[in-house]
Structure 1
């Protein structure tokens, strides 16, 4: 057992202090001190050394309180808290952990199936303890759903085959307060059939320059992406838009949704989509639609080829978390005809 007591604070309090070497550190509520290093220029893109082991995580989070995925010192991001927990458990610094996420979700965006990998110079015989410790240290809005050993060639981002994003729209006159942080509210009655017709134009291989916002860390963007499906589904008051593609540019999904909202309001015809795609100019989209807000967006899954997901030989079993059971079962007592314990009488 790792012997880490669970923290029950949301978010985890951060206290900054200076170290003798001039770096900043943060301190979790349980006393673990964590180094705040400047983010690396590249995230784990080098070959894995022979003595290192790689681990894959599937992560879910409510993005409402966080400033996106990307690590930033002393700023509450998803990567920041995951690294803090891993540093506390493994006693490694973030340069050795090399935590990399499959998708850099934006501020306020949620995830059910974010994937990340990290490395350690040692192996584990059982993953359930580190899994339990991770979720004990993380804020309740972030949960590691599973941990498994990964092949040396696996990379959470570059090995990706496709990603699935979902956008939720609450389409009634009065917003349901329980959907307030998790769906965009449209008081305009939307036409889902027109939206589906427009969404079909996105399917295929296109240059999506018109649907990409500029980002300071984009580097050399490759605007040509393949969309394999774009489904518009009515679920009572909720309109669900789900898109799968080989990759997406910065804010591409939210910009595509914004245009579909205009089509759904019947302010624009469905065939506006191929015209804006062909323009390859972000300003053309800006003339007719603003980007949809982040709180309706979810990263649902990141998909890989089955071969790359096969664990190395001799790896510990995948951990899906521990299920707890009562030591005494009243079902077994009744079935065996035993008497009730005094505490039940």
Structure 2
């Protein structure tokens, strides 16, 4: 079973398009086969793929069994230690709300002056047999914030540290404080699954925009090669 990672991008063109299907096909023709553009839509000038977002939802999958499911090996973190899901849920509630997440962020050269205050709307844990899925929704996330939060929850799930360590680390605002208890969780369990945008920024431009492109199907024309009976 394979997972897909969602992504949204925007760009400006020096001229208008009457039809987006040819552009769509050309872009996919240039990309590697494991990256596909599913849809191209005209957008207003106010739309920004990053700054127009109201919230983002991430999943992190953990396969909690002595033996790893080989079909999940690229898409879930393997924990051979039996995890206590109840204490992980309790600890996750401490992340909900508006907090300074400086202690859970790694330095990134891409962020100009990152705002460490983020609002986490919910942090859920779903159990599907041996597969645990953490789902977190927030206004935005700092660099590696989700992986660092998951790493701490893993240590709590192993019962190495108590759930109420979370507010202590949040209050410290110090990445070194978190490093005393956990290392970052590996990236292959993480997946961005949904981005919720400001509805007004999703409105199409006023001047006769082209229709959205979802890709086009190729058709076979009538065969012109002669044949003999």
1:14-62 C-alpha deviation (Å, 9 max, x unpaired) = xxxxxxxxxxxxxxxxxxxxxxxxxxxxxxxxxxxxxxxxxxxxxxxx9
Correspondence for 1:306 = 199
Determine the C-alpha separation between the residues in 2 that align with 1:212 and 1:251: 6
1:133 CA drift (Å): 2.1
Q: 2:213 aligns with which of 273, 296, 319?
A: 319
Classify 1:220/1:241 alpha carbon distance in 2 versus 1 (closer, same or farther; 3 Å): same
Determine the C-alpha separation between the residues in 2 that align with 1:192 and 1:242: 14
Determine the C-alpha separation between the residues in 2 that align with 1:112 and 1:216: 23
Q: 1:273 aligns with which of 163, 166, 187?
A: 166
TM-score (norm 1): 0.61
Determine the C-alpha separation between the residues in 1 that align with 2:109 and 2:31: 29
Equivalences for residues 119-158 of structure 1 within 5 A: 119-158=12-51
Determine the C-alpha separation between the residues in 2 that align with 1:117 and 1:272: 40
Q: 1:208 aligns with which of 98, 101, 105?
A: 101
Correspondence for 2:130 = 237
Correspondence for 2:227 = none
1:326 CA drift (Å): 8.2
TM-score (norm 2): 0.90
Residue 174 (structure 2) pairs with residue 296 (structure 1)? no
Determine the C-alpha separation between the residues in 2 that align with 1:304 and 1:217: 22
Q: Is the 8 A contact 1:112 1:301 kept in 2?
A: no
Q: Is the 8 A contact 1:113 1:301 kept in 2?
A: yes
Determine the C-alpha separation between the residues in 1 that align with 2:115 and 2:220: 54
More strand by share: 1
Correspondence for 2:152 = 259
Greater relative contact order, per chain length (Cα 8 Å cut-off, separation 6+): 2
Q: How many residues are matched?
A: 220
